A and B are shown apart, each in its own frame.
Chain A
């Protein structure tokens, strides 16, 4: 029986059945199938949530291994696993809205997240200084467009030179949106074609088998 579940064909069949269960009720008006599809979506959602148990196991195992073997960076792993269980216990005992639990969020996550997000500003500046070069006519046009959009984005420019808003809108509504539309279309088509390759067994890597290149 376990051999059946290990077979590639069985996996593909399972994928195809799951796909059909979502695809068919979406397009065809069959209420019982739609209910079944919704139930399956709920099951997937719950399984995803239980992945947190996988996380606990995986992180604990890895951290204990590194601490036990005193591998490079082991104090950080000790800190990680201690904090992991401390926050989990606090959350379970006192609730996610308790002051104690929120302390960890406000003391660690909030400042770290804000700093990380802000660092992107500096990266864009260094990219502007070092990477954005008008090496070709297209690059030059792109830089000019970028400058016009940034001028339009700065509120002060619009206050003393109103036409910049129109220029910015023109570039955003016509060029940026057109690129985004084409990106979306190509992405969707690529996803459907990828799906067909998976369902026909031509993309084994996606289902965990080594297809071979």
Chain B
């Protein structure tokens, strides 16, 4: 009996991680293929974020900063789609800047490209609201290379940016009303962590511009400091935040779809933690003590 008990712990201790990987793969894929419909609650952070979006109106100009590549887009796109739909529906104008070289590739996936007939996720929404490039939104492109670029955009916008990402001049557009970030109604930052601080420092802090951040999971604690300091109004956190805002907005999509897998994988991680520690207390600790004794 004693041998059987120690065998179980030894088995757990020597359990190959590749099987864990396989289980994660299956447990992630299965609920997507066979949805369960696990219920979801919404947190105050997401409610605050959504409430901020709802304050926008037709006279507002919003700076949308995409400081993410394709990788982080996978995590934030649920929230991004709902945020953009809310802004389009409000009639507020948007100016898009990218802080990542993949931004110009990522943008057509979301907004499409009417000139080239490319259809993006939000093409239908833009069509319904007659939301067009040039009149309602302008894309400045990958102009946010580093903190110095953020400073230049904040303090000397019209000397730093003369044309949009396709080479069309921005003079004569709604951007003529923007001298500095104080003229913006809001800054929305989709962030993988690196640029948020620079934007907070040089735009939100210096010009008192309201700002909200949609942040990847590992950066939430860091970005919440800005919420505490009052420079950022709200944070949308990662995949779960995206699902919550889809629920709040009544726009079920990929975020809510992912919540089944999200929940199951979280429980699986907890199980893995517990099993790993059972292996430690049942086998590894005694093994190490035996080794020490033998020496």
Within the complex, are A and B direct neighbours (CB within 8 Å)? yes
A residues whose Cβ falls under 8 Å from a Cβ of B = 34-35, 38-39, 41-42, 44-45, 48-49, 95-99, 102, 105-106, 109-110, 113-114, 116-118, 121-122, 124-126, 128-130, 132-135, 143, 146-147, 150-151, 153-159, 162, 165, 169, 172, 176-177, 179-181, 184
Would you list which residues of chain B between 216 and 269 have a CB under 8 Å from chain A?
221-222, 224-225, 228, 240, 243, 259, 262-263, 265-269
25 contacts between A and B (CB under 8 A): A39-B156, A41-B151, A42-B148, A97-B116, A97-B166, A105-B105, A109-B70, A113-B70, A117-B74, A121-B265, A128-B272, A129-B272, A129-B275, A133-B280, A147-B270, A147-B273, A150-B266, A150-B269, A154-B267, A155-B38, A155-B40, A155-B243, A156-B39, A156-B263, A181-B228
Q: Which residues of A contact B75 (CB under 8 A)?
A: 117
CB distance from B268 to the nearest CB of A (A): 8
With A105-B105, A155-B38, A155-B259: A172-B70 Cβ-Cβ less than 8 Å: no
* B21 sits at the interface (CB 8 A): yes
Mostly, the B contact residues are: helix
* B130 sits at the interface (CB 8 A): no
Are the CB atoms of B70 and A125 closer together than 8 Å?
Answer: no
CB distance from A187 to the nearest CB of B (A): 10
* B123 sits at the interface (CB 8 A): no
Q: Which residues of A contact B72 (CB under 8 A)?
A: 117
Question: Which of A42, A128, A153, A180 is close to B276, meaning CB atoms less than 8 Å apart?
Answer: A128
How far does the alpha carbon of A124 sit from the alpha carbon of B272 in the complex, in Å? 10
With A97-B166, A125-B24: A176-B38 Cβ-Cβ less than 8 Å: no
Are the CB atoms of B38 and A45 closer together than 8 Å?
Answer: no
Are the CB atoms of B20 and A154 closer together than 8 Å?
Answer: no
CB distance from B234 to the nearest CB of A (A): 15
With A97-B104, A129-B15, A129-B272: A114-B70 Cβ-Cβ less than 8 Å: yes
Are the CB atoms of A114 and B102 closer together than 8 Å?
Answer: no
Would you list which residues of chain B between 118 and 174 have a CB under 8 Å from chain A?
118, 141, 145-146, 148-149, 151-152, 155-156, 159-160, 165-166
Closest A-chain residue to B256, C-beta based? A155
Question: Which of A113, A143, A159 is close to B273, meaning CB atoms less than 8 Å apart?
Answer: A143
* B69 sits at the interface (CB 8 A): yes
CB distance from A55 to the nearest CB of B (A): 11
Closest A-chain residue to B197, C-beta based? A184
* B277 sits at the interface (CB 8 A): yes
CB distance from A71 to the nearest CB of B (A): 28
How far does the alpha carbon of A42 sit from the alpha carbon of B146 in the complex, in Å? 10
Question: Which of A109, A130, A184 is close to B102, meaning CB atoms less than 8 Å apart?
Answer: A109
How many chain B residues touch the partner (CB < 8 A)?
A: 62
Are the CB atoms of A156 and B38 closer together than 8 Å?
Answer: yes
With A41-B155, A48-B145: A125-B20 Cβ-Cβ less than 8 Å: yes
Are the CB atoms of B273 and A96 closer together than 8 Å?
Answer: no
CB distance from A72 to the nearest CB of B (A): 28
Closest A-chain residue to B21, C-beta based? A122
Are the CB atoms of A42 and B156 closer together than 8 Å?
Answer: yes
How far does the alpha carbon of A35 sit from the alpha carbon of B183 in the complex, in Å? 19
How far does the alpha carbon of A129 sit from the alpha carbon of B47 in the complex, in Å? 35
Are the CB atoms of A113 and B69 closer together than 8 Å?
Answer: yes
* B71 sits at the interface (CB 8 A): yes
Are the CB atoms of B270 and A121 closer together than 8 Å?
Answer: no
With A42-B159, A150-B266: A125-B280 Cβ-Cβ less than 8 Å: no
Are the CB atoms of B273 and A128 closer together than 8 Å?
Answer: yes
Q: Which residues of B contact A95 (CB under 8 A)?
A: 166
With A156-B38, A176-B221: A110-B273 Cβ-Cβ less than 8 Å: no
* B43 sits at the interface (CB 8 A): yes
Are the CB atoms of B152 and A155 closer together than 8 Å?
Answer: no
Closest A-chain residue to B247, C-beta based? A155
Closest B-chain residue to A144, C-beta based? B273
Closest A-chain residue to B19, C-beta based? A129
Are the CB atoms of B269 and A125 closer together than 8 Å?
Answer: yes
Are the CB atoms of B24 and A96 closer together than 8 Å?
Answer: no
* B294 sits at the interface (CB 8 A): no
Would you list which residues of chain B between 20 and 42 have a CB under 8 Å from chain A?
20-21, 24, 28, 38-41
Are the CB atoms of A184 and B222 closer together than 8 Å?
Answer: yes
Q: Which residues of A contact B284 (CB under 8 A)?
A: 133
Q: Which residues of A contact B118 (CB under 8 A)?
A: 99
Are the CB atoms of B155 and A34 closer together than 8 Å?
Answer: yes
Are the CB atoms of A177 and B273 closer together than 8 Å?
Answer: no
Are the CB atoms of A133 and B276 closer together than 8 Å?
Answer: yes
- Taken residue by residue from 52 to 88, chain B's Cβ proximity to chain A (1 for < 8 Å, 0 otherwise) reads as 0000000000000000011110110000000000000
